[in-house]
């Protein structure tokens, strides 16, 4: 009997771990490792508009020192094109394909704009090399900004490795959880999952609280505004999901335990009444 109790509590402990891992895998697969989730955050956080605005602003820095007019930047990048490019980068990122930022079209447009501007204003440029330098700088600025805006590409390799491992992790967690639950149902006469549910809910609650206390992401800023907002948006949603998991599992744990003990007490009462024992 004592050995059975020990096995029961050990199985409860292991069930908690497996349930925790199972939920962690589901949470990560549904959020961070899900291209649709990333796309939804990109839309929610105005990632495309912020990136376009940032690039346009940086382009304008070079106008002042170039002696050219802002006109040469007209139509250089558009939000719709940027949105299409970003969508392509996200898809490639999640598929583990190499992300190459195309700049040829931008360069051609800029060169055409400069030629038109110089012709319209009858300007003869003595040194073409300085204009080439300007074009090169603008193209590099674009490339650098897109790279910075989607800085996740820096961690693409380990990201894809984890993404590929996650389904196995999920499968193993499910199998271990179900296997152990069935084993303890027969061996330890388990009739409810209240303890693993409560413990998992409490664990997620603690993680939520720990993150809220120790990770100040409200003013987080790295690389660019667009990228920072993307990270903040993702963190916010994942943090909220952790909170929801904690609440759901705590409630389920209490309900599962409550229902189980309610019927257990009813059953005991029925047995006692049938056997004629005095019911207080």
Partner 1 sequence: MHKAKNVLKGIAKNFAVSFFFVAFFAFLFFLFGEKQIKPYFSLASNLSYSTIKKENTDISFDSVQKRLLDYPNYGTIWATLKIPTLNLELPVYHGDTLDLLRYGVGHLAGSYFPGEGGGIVLDAHNTDEYFGTLPNLPIGGTIILDTIYGEFTYEVTETKIIHQTDEASLPVKTSEETLMLYTCYPMHYMGLTSERYVVYAKLIGADYES
Residue 126 — φ and ψ, nearest 5°?
-75, -40
Nearer to partner 1, 41 or 68 (CB): 68
Query: What token pair was written down for 125?
Result: 């440029």
Q: How far apart are CA 251 and CA 217, in angstroms?
A: 29
Containing 199, the helix (H) or strand (E) segment is helix 194-214
Cβ neighbors of 98 (< 8 A, separation 6 or more) are 92
Q: How far is the CB of 89 from partner 1 (least distance, A)?
A: 23
Name which of 55, 60, 114 is nearest 82 in CA terms. 55
Among 264, 267, 270, 272, binds partner 1 (CB under 8 A): 264
Binding of partner 1 at residue 170 (CB under 8 A)?
no
Binding of partner 1 at residue 261 (CB under 8 A)?
yes
How many CB atoms lie under 10 A from the CB of residue 212? 13
Binding of partner 1 at residue 280 (CB under 8 A)?
yes
Q: How far apart are CA 69 and CA 132, in angstroms?
A: 16
Q: How far is the CB of 152 from partner 1 (least distance, A)?
A: 15
Binding of partner 1 at residue 212 (CB under 8 A)?
no
Binding of partner 1 at residue 139 (CB under 8 A)?
no
Binding of partner 1 at residue 214 (CB under 8 A)?
yes
Q: How far is the CB of 63 from partner 1 (least distance, A)?
A: 9
258 three-state secondary structure: helix
Binding site for partner 1 (CB under 8 A): 9, 12-13, 16, 57-58, 60-62, 64-68, 118, 123, 125, 127, 129-134, 137, 194-195, 198-199, 201-203, 206, 214-222, 253-254, 257-258, 260-262, 264-266, 269, 280
């Amino acid at each position: 009997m004592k050995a059975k109790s020990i096995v029961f509590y050990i199985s409860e402990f292991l069930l908690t771990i497996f349930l925790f891992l199972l939920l962690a895998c589901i949470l990560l697969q549904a959020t961070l490792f899900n291209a649709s989730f990333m796309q939804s955050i990109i839309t929610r956080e105005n990632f495309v508009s912020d990136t376009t605005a940032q690039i346009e602003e940086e382009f304008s820095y070079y106008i002042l020192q170039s002696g050219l007019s802002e006109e040469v930047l007209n139509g250089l990048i558009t939000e719709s094109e940027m949105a299409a490019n970003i969508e392509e980068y996200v898809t490639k990122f999640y598929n583990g394909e190499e992300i190459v930022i195309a700049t040829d079209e931008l360069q051609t447009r800029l060169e055409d704009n400069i030629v038109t501007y110089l012709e319209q204003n009858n300007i003869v440029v003595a040194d073409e090399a300085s204009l080439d330098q300007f074009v090169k700088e603008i193209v590099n600025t674009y490339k650098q900004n897109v790279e910075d805006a989607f800085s996740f590409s820096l961690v693409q390799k380990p990201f894809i490795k984890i993404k590929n491992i996650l389904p196995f992790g999920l499968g193993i967690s499910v199998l271990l959880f179900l296997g152990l639950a069935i084993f303890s149902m027969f061996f330890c006469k388990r009739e409810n999952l209240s303890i693993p549910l409560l413990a998992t809910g409490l664990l997620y609650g603690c993680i939520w609280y720990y993150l809220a206390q120790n990770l100040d992401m409200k003013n987080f800023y790295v690389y660019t505004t667009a990228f920072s907002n993307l990270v903040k948006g993702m963190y916010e949603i994942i943090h909220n999901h952790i909170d929801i998991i904690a609440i759901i599992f705590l409630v389920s744990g209490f309900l599962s335990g409550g229902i189980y003990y309610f019927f257990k007490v009813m059953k005991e009462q029925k047995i006692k009444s049938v056997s004629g024992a005095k019911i207080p």
